[in-house]
């Protein structure tokens, strides 16, 4: 995608400075999104399509360390029987490489982890969740590898783009149990699958005032995973599982407002109601029940450049809780994030971000999982308010 060189404007923003400001929000947004509602983690860095240069690469990662105490109730007890922190830390990788094929067409390959979840009950008073499977730990991660292209044409004072691409999403799920899905006790339940989806959208930008508006849709991805359940009585190779990861629509807007200043914001809707259950069969049919509602994520921020090399940004994010009582994701999440950018030359840029998220407590009653089904081990869980600390780092090189 071609970018006009407007040189030094009366606003006092050079082309280099506008490029710094136009992209700096990525550092804070990358940190904010890494601990969002449901199981959201990373977002593909398709913004690299708007970077100047024939070949541009950007690599980075975000580290998130959440803390929240969970109380587990047991049958016949009026109050919680134990309290522990079951939220492991995690990394969210991000990689993007853009090639400007022609003046009008640019394409980017991207990699990230869009969804993931981890829970560890080893610190509980029982050492496992009081569900029918007696889960000791549970985790899943999805990785996304995508190719997205943008085609731009001059329209009025700026440039309009049509954006589209495809991606491959993998799933790896593991659950360690002590319970009754197989006679004999402890075992490991594993599933894996690969699905495909697409993204499509449009954008318009006026580089001379660092203005850009972008609307992007990401499709849902259905998985029909296969795997195994391995226990002390042997391996069952016929485990299967099905689920649908949600579609989403995101609007991102930014604009220069004064010499050296830029404001940015985004609003994202995610169809979490499609992620109602993870249905699976090991030896017997069962399900992990979520029954999520749709969620919104809204961010607003400001960026300021101090000189041709240094800039900083700050943002606030509200992420709507999507839980409905079947797990502990019902609370809203509020995140404050700051970011910084250092550009030693036209070819290199380094960014870092730091964010703190706050979320309230929630409760889960899994004595009745809905549909007239009750779990044989009655109980409930409550969580206290918690927080998460996240840090991100990325580096960009262009030619």
Which whole number is the average pLDDT over 254-280? 91
Contact between 248 and 270 under an 8 Å Cβ cutoff? The reply is yes
pLDDT in tens, 67-99: 877 766 654 444 445 555 677 889 999 999 999
Q: Burial level of 372, CB count in 10 A (0-12/13-18/19+)?
A: exposed
Coarse DSSP helix, strand, coil percentages of the chain, rounded to the nearest 5 percent: 10, 60, 30
Which whole number is the average pLDDT over 173-200? 79
Where helices occur in the chain by DSSP H, the ranges are 15-33
pLDDT at 87: 79
Pairing between strand 248-258 and 211-218?
antiparallel
Please give the full DSSP string across 284-349, using - where no structure is assigned: SEEEEE--PPPEEEEEEEEEEESSSSEEEEEEEEEE-----SSSS--S-EEEEEEEEEEEEETTEE
β-bridge partners, 11: none
Which whole number is the average pLDDT over 91-110? 96
Confidence of residue 371 (pLDDT cuts 50, 70, 90): very low
For the chain, the average pLDDT equals 81
Residue 17 has pLDDT above 50, yes or no: no
More confident residue, 125 or 221: 221
Rounded Cα distance between 310 and 387, Å, is 30
Which whole number is the average pLDDT over 177-202? 80
pLDDT at 24: 54
> Taking the CB of residue 392, how many other CB atoms lie within 10 A of it?
27
pLDDT at 269: 96
pLDDT at 179: 58
Contacts of 110 by beta carbon, 8 Å cutoff, 6+ apart = 44, 45, 46, 48, 94, 95, 96, 144, 145, 146, 147, 148, 167
Residue owning tokens 């850009």: 212
pLDDT at 324: 80
Rounded Cα distance between 108 and 49, Å, is 6
Rounded Cα distance between 244 and 112, Å, is 18
Which whole number is the average pLDDT over 375-384? 56
Rounded Cα distance between 364 and 71, Å, is 10
Rounded Cα distance between 360 and 68, Å, is 9
Rounded Cα distance between 325 and 277, Å, is 13
387, two tokens: 């927080």
**Window from 8-17, 160-169, 258-267, 379-388 with minimum mean pLDDT:** 8-17
pLDDT at 11: 35
Rounded Cα distance between 40 and 219, Å, is 14
Confidence of residue 291 (pLDDT cuts 50, 70, 90): confident
Confidence of residue 330 (pLDDT cuts 50, 70, 90): confident
Residues of the chain with pLDDT > 70: what percent? 74
Residue 125 has pLDDT above 70, yes or no: no
Instruction: Compute CA distances 144 → 32, 92, 254, whole Å.
Output: 19, 11, 26
Residues of the chain with pLDDT > 90: what percent? 48
> Taking the CB of residue 17, how many other CB atoms lie within 10 A of it?
24
Residue 124 has pLDDT above 60, yes or no: yes
Contacts of 234 by beta carbon, 8 Å cutoff, 6+ apart = none
Rounded Cα distance between 131 and 347, Å, is 54
The SS3 assignment for 210 reads: coil
pLDDT in tens, 306-329: 998 999 999 999 999 888 877 777
pLDDT at 197: 97
pLDDT in tens, 18-41: 454 555 555 555 555 555 667 899
Which whole number is the average pLDDT over 122-140? 68
pLDDT in tens, 137-152: 888 999 999 999 999 9
Which whole number is the average pLDDT over 116-143? 74
pLDDT in tens, 205-228: 998 899 999 999 999 999 888 888
Residue 376 has pLDDT above 50, yes or no: no
pLDDT at 142: 95
Averaging pLDDT over each range in 284-288, 298-302, 358-362, which range is the top one? 298-302
Residue 379 has pLDDT above 70, yes or no: no
pLDDT at 290: 83
Rounded Cα distance between 221 and 169, Å, is 8
Rounded Cα distance between 116 and 226, Å, is 18
Contact between 231 and 185 under an 8 Å Cβ cutoff? The reply is yes
Confidence of residue 196 (pLDDT cuts 50, 70, 90): very high
Residue 195 has pLDDT above 60, yes or no: yes
């Amino acid at each position: 995608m071609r970018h006009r060189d407007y040189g030094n404007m009366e606003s006092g923003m050079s082309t280099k400075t506008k490029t710094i400001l136009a992209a700096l929000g990525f550092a804070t947004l990358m940190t904010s999104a890494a601990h969002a509602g449901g199981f959201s983690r990373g977002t593909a860095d398709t913004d690299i399509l708007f970077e100047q240069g024939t070949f541009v690469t950007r690599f980075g990662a975000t580290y998130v360390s959440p803390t929240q105490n969970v109380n587990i109730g047991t049958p016949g007890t009026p109050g919680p029987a134990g309290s522990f922190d079951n939220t492991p830390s995690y990394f969210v990788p991000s990689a993007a490489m853009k090639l400007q094929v022609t003046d009008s067409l640019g394409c980017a390959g991207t990699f990230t982890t869009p969804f993931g979840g981890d829970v560890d009950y080893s610190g509980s008073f029982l050492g496992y969740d009081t569900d029918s499977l007696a889960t000791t730990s549970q985790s899943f991660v999805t990785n996304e590898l995508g190719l997205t292209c943008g085609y731009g044409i001059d329209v009025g004072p700026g440039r309009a783009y049509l954006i589209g691409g495809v991606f491959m999403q993998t799933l790896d799920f593991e659950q360690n149990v002590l319970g009754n899905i197989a006679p004999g006790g402890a075992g490991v339940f594993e599933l894996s699958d690969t699905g495909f989806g697409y993204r499509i959208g449009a954008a318009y930008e006026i580089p001379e005032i660092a203005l850009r508006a972008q609307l992007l849709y990401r499709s849902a991805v259905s998985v029909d995973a296969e795997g195994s359940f391995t226990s002390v009585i042997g391996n069952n190779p016929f485990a299967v599982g099905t689920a649908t990861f949600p579609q989403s629509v995101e609007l991102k807007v930014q604009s220069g407002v004064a010499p050296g200043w830029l404001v940015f914001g985004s609003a994202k809707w995610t169809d979490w109601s499609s992620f109602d259950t993870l249905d699976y069969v090991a030896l017997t049919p069962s399900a992990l029940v979520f029954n999520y509602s749709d969620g919104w994520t809204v961010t607003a921020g400001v960026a300021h450049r101090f000189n041709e090399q240094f800039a900083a940004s700050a943002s606030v994010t509200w992420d709507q809780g999507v839980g409905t009582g079947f797990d502990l994701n019902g609370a809203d999440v509020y995140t404050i994030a700051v970011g910084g950018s250092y550009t030693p030359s036209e070819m290199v840029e380094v960014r870092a971000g730091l964010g703190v998220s706050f979320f309230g407590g929630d409760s889960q009653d899994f004595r009745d999982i809905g549909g007239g089904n009750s779990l044989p081990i009655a109980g409930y869980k409550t969580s206290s308010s918690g927080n998460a600390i996240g840090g991100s780092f990325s580096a960009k090189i262009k030619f």
